[in-house]
Copies of this chain bind each other. A is one copy, B any other.
Amino acid sequence: MLARGCRWVLILAVVLLFAVAPAISQPDKADPLPSWNDTTPKKAINDFVAKVTKEGSPDFVPVADRVAVFDNDGTLWCEHPMYVQLAFALDRVKALAPKHPEWRTTEPFKSVLDGNLKGVAASGEKGLAELIMGTHAGMTVDEFEVTVKDWLATAEHPRFRRPYTECVYQPMLELLAYLRANGFKTFIVSGGGVEFMRPFTARVYGVPPEQVVGSTIKTKYVLRDGKPVLMRLPEIDFIDDKAGKPVCIHKFIGRRPVMAFGNSAGDFEMLEYTTTNNHRGFGLFVHHTDAEREYAYDRKTEFGHLDKGLDEAPKRGWVVASMKVDWKTVFPPKKQPK
């Protein structure tokens, strides 16, 4: 039995413990990265975190500056056989087609409705932009959020037959939690639409909406039936990709990151910007090398193309994590059906 003062201290400790407990589970102290094999990338991550969190060390980074940025598509979740947001857009074309009879004869919508993915691809970037504008604009931001949530709740990955939000990488979930436990703020910095990610990032990654940076379309504040709403306009605001990533990091986060994680050419400048910080920086590419458990691709692919990054990683001191070699598991265990 504890003494009276001691009980009070215990209660305080428990209250404080709950006050700091994040939504996502805490990492295991003995091995916070159990889904990583004991190969170079895991050692590099552990060594770096030990260095920058050791007070008095020349590499020490104060907590306020501990910013870690993560690409989403191909870095945190699966981006093949196509970007998840593209799968969403294709499904939206089918769902909205009855209201758009003109789509039956207009590209790229016609190809989508005909199930002709080559035709969609042939429409190029312009076609993809039209696809996004046709399916992602013209509603309020609240309506769009509901649509995304509903879709994510029912859509399945065509190969893995589970929700896209379960086709996330277990080693990266552990890494997010591990960095947060070491005082890092974790941000997503993705070429994907910010409003497509925010509906699930808190639940799945433990990253709250304001720490999600992505591509944006313009919105406008209007009164609809006397109620103020934000309408999504069919106009791109900013593409958060390649050299746009450092621009967005500065605009949204306001300081250079200390660690950056990506997997494609779109992440090159983000890693470059991060690893030329005044304090020590860390960059890592997830390399898709595992056709059996996930996919194998790098230099020749439509989604998640990576070449210069692979070539330059060694001389820039960036780590390349091979999914096949360095990851013990790829996806989290399947959830029990309710």
Mask: chain A, 217-256; 1 = CB below 8 Å from B; 0 = not: 0011100000110100000010000011011001111110
Q: What range describes how many residues of A lie at the interface? A: 35 or more
Report whether A228 and B20 are in contact in the complex, using a CB–CB cutoff of 8 Å.
Answer: no
Q: Which of A187, A246, A273 has the most CB of B within 10 A?
A: A246
A62 to chain B, nearest CB (A): 11
26 CB < 8 A contacts A-B = A2-B3, A2-B5, A2-B6, A9-B13, A10-B13, A12-B13, A12-B17, A13-B16, A16-B17, A16-B19, A19-B20, A64-B202, A141-B250, A210-B253, A216-B251, A219-B250, A220-B247, A221-B243, A221-B244, A221-B246, A227-B276, A228-B246, A228-B276, A230-B247, A230-B250, A252-B252
- List B contacts of A202 (CB < 8 A): 64
What residue of chain B has the Cβ atom nearest to residue A216's Cβ?
B251
- List B contacts of A251 (CB < 8 A): 194, 216, 219, 237
Whether A287 is near chain B, meaning CB under 8 Å from some CB there, is no
Given contacts A6-B9, A250-B230, contact A269 B221 (CB under 8 A): yes
Given contacts A221-B269, A228-B276, A243-B221, contact A255 B9 (CB under 8 A): no
Whether A209 is near chain B, meaning CB under 8 Å from some CB there, is yes
Given contacts A5-B2, A6-B3, A16-B17, contact A210 B211 (CB under 8 A): yes
Alpha-carbon distance between A221 and B272 when the two chains are bound, in angstroms: 11
Alpha-carbon distance between A15 and B292 when the two chains are bound, in angstroms: 45
Alpha-carbon distance between A219 and B141 when the two chains are bound, in angstroms: 27
Report whether A253 and B209 are in contact in the complex, using a CB–CB cutoff of 8 Å.
Answer: yes
- List B contacts of A209 (CB < 8 A): 253-255
What residue of chain B has the Cβ atom nearest to residue A185's Cβ?
B210
Whether A323 is near chain B, meaning CB under 8 Å from some CB there, is no
Whether A208 is near chain B, meaning CB under 8 Å from some CB there, is yes
Report whether A252 and B210 are in contact in the complex, using a CB–CB cutoff of 8 Å.
Answer: yes
Alpha-carbon distance between A128 and B20 when the two chains are bound, in angstroms: 46
Whether A198 is near chain B, meaning CB under 8 Å from some CB there, is yes
Q: A5-53: which residues lie under 8 A (CB-CB) from chain B? A: 5-6, 9-10, 12-13, 16-17, 19-20
Given contacts A209-B254, A210-B252, 14 further A-B contacts (CB under 8 A): A2-B3, A2-B5, A9-B13, A10-B13, A13-B16, A16-B17, A64-B202, A210-B253, A212-B254, A216-B251, A221-B243, A221-B244, A221-B246, A230-B247
